[in-house]
Amino acid sequence: MTQPLAGKNVVVTGGGTGIGFGIAKALAEAGAQVALAGRRVEKLQEAAAQFTGEPTMLTHAVDVSDLKSVEALFGWAGETMGDIHILVNSAGINIPKRSMAETSPENWEKVLQINATGAFYCMHTVLPQMREREDGLILNVSSIAGKRALLLGGVAYCASKFAMTALGSTAALEEQQHGIRITNIYPGEVETPILDNRPAPVSAERRSKMLQPEDLGAAALMIACLPPRAHIPEIVVKPTVQDWA
C-alpha cells in the first residue's frame, strides 16, 4: 500500500471526534504522523486508539481560544514531531439557543473565540515555520454556513464561519508567495456530535442522508496529496440530499 504522506507531520485541532478525526484518520492511513488536539484528553486518547496503523497517532490537549495553550501545543509538536507540514483547523462549536433573540453576549463570544479566533491563533503560530521552509498546507474546516447565512446555523455560528472563510481566503493570497497553500472546506450537513446542540432533535432518517466524517477525510486527503504547484482555494462538500432550511 502506497503512503503518499509518509514523512509529513500533521496537527488536527478538534481531532478527537467528528470531521477532525475523519480527516486525521485519512491522513494517517496515507502515512502521515498525526497529532490529535482538543479540549478533552480522554476523547483524544479514545480516538487515537482507534487507529492501529503506523506511525501511531499522538495526542495533546489544547484550548484553541487561549493563545498560550495554542503556543504550548505547537511547542510540544515541534519538539515531538519536528516541522509541521499540515495544519487542520477543525475545532468548532455551536449552541442550542442560536437565533439573534436568544443568543447571549457570552455565547456569542464563546462561539467566535473558538471557531474564528482559534483558527487565527493556530495559523498565526504555525505560519512562521512554514514561511521559513517555503512550504505548508492549512485546511480550514468552515461550513456551508460560512458561504451563505442559514437559519439552521444561527447568528453566532454563521458569523464565526464567515470570519473563518475570510481569514483563510485572505491569508491564502498573502502566503502563496511563500509556497503555502490554504484551503477552506465547506461541508454541508455531517453526522457528528455537534448535531446534539441543535435546538430540535435530528431524526435517524435525516442523519442517514448526511455526510459522514470519512467523506471529509477523503476530500482532505485528495487536497493534501496534490503537488506543491496545485492549490485548491475552496471546496464545497454536501450530501446528495441537502435540506437548506
Domain contains 210: yes
CATH number for the domain harbouring residue 187: 3.40.50.720
- Residue 243 included in any domain: no
Q: Cα–Cα distance between 79 and 81 in angstroms, integer?
A: 6
Contact 88, 220 (CB under 8 A): yes
The answer to whether residue 176 is domain-embedded is yes
Mean residue pLDDT of the chain comes to 95
Task: Name the residue among 145, 150, 152, 214 with its Cα closest to residue 184.
Answer: 145
Cβ proximity of 211 and 238 under 8 Å: yes
Model confidence over 80-108: pLDDT tens digits? Answer: 999 999 999 999 999 999 999 999 999 99
Note the pLDDT tens digit of each residue in 8-52: 999 999 999 999 999 999 999 999 999 999 999 999 999 999 999
Burial environment of residue 105 by CB neighbours within 10 A (0 to 12, 13 to 18, 19 or more): exposed
pLDDT top residue among 243 and 49: 49
Catalytic residues: 157
Query: Can you give the three-state secondary structure of 17-46, one letter per residue?
Result: CHHHHHHHHHHHHCCCEEEEEECCHHHHHH
Q: Is the pLDDT of residue 244 over 70?
A: no
Q: Does a structural domain hold residue 200? A: yes
Residue 198 has a pLDDT of: 75
Share of the chain above pLDDT 90, in %: 88
Does residue 21 belong to any structural domain of this protein? yes
Q: Which residue reads 493563545 in cell numbers? A: 67
91: domain range?
9-237
Domain total in the chain: 1
Q: What angle do CA 92, 161, 116 make, to 5 degrees?
A: 60
pLDDT at 71 over 70: yes
